[in-house]
């Protein structure tokens, strides 16, 4: 922020980054808290995010003032990158409407493909 950055990518939530959740939350707050005349910047907690992790990030950040880094969620989507991007948007629509991803995915094939892929990894 002191250097004038508009956005800061930082380790995100989840085991892959091995960063304690409290540290990620503190990093996010440091990006947006008042600092005199210095403008806030957009926090981008990231690390292997996808449509399946969007709600968790949103809930942990506590508001919509964050960016999302879904590289694997887009480029690792089983139908391809376009479907990966669509699945992220569909997940956000479900969150906004208070609909569980599993329910919303039933009428949105891109999201459903990501849900199915996640289920296979957990099996």
What is the per-residue pLDDT across 54-96, written as a single tens digit (0 to 9) for each?
999 999 999 999 999 999 899 999 999 999 999 999 999 999 9
- Looking at residue 14, its pLDDT comes to 79
Where residue 15 sits, what CATH number does that domain have? 3.20.20.110
3-state secondary structure at position 10: strand
> Would you put residue 34 in left (φ > 0), alpha (ψ -120 to 50) or beta?
beta
Element (H, E) at 29: helix 21-32
Average pLDDT estimate for 3-31:
89
Q: Quickly tell me which residue has 């002191």 as its tokens.
A: 2
CA distance 102 to 111: 9
State which residues form the domain around 25.
7-122
Instruction: Out of 11-15, 20-24, 95-99, pick the least confident.
Output: 11-15
CA distance 10 to 46: 6
User: Does a structural domain hold residue 2?
Assistant: no
User: Does a structural domain hold residue 94?
Assistant: yes
């Amino acid at each position: 922020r002191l250097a004038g950055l508009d956005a800061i990518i930082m380790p995100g939530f989840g085991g892959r980054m091995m960063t304690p959740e409290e540290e990620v939350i503190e990093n996010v707050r440091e990006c947006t808290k008042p600092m005199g005349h210095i403008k806030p910047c957009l926090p981008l907690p990231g690390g292997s995010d996808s449509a399946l992790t969007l709600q968790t990030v949103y809930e942990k950040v506590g508001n919509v003032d964050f960016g999302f880094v879904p590289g694997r969620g887009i480029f690792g989507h089983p139908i391809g990158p376009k479907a990966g991007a669509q699945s992220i948007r569909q997940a956000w629509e479900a969150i906004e409407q208070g609909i569980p991803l599993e329910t919303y995915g039933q009428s949105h094939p891109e999201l459903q493909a990501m849900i199915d892929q996640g289920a296979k990894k957990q099996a």
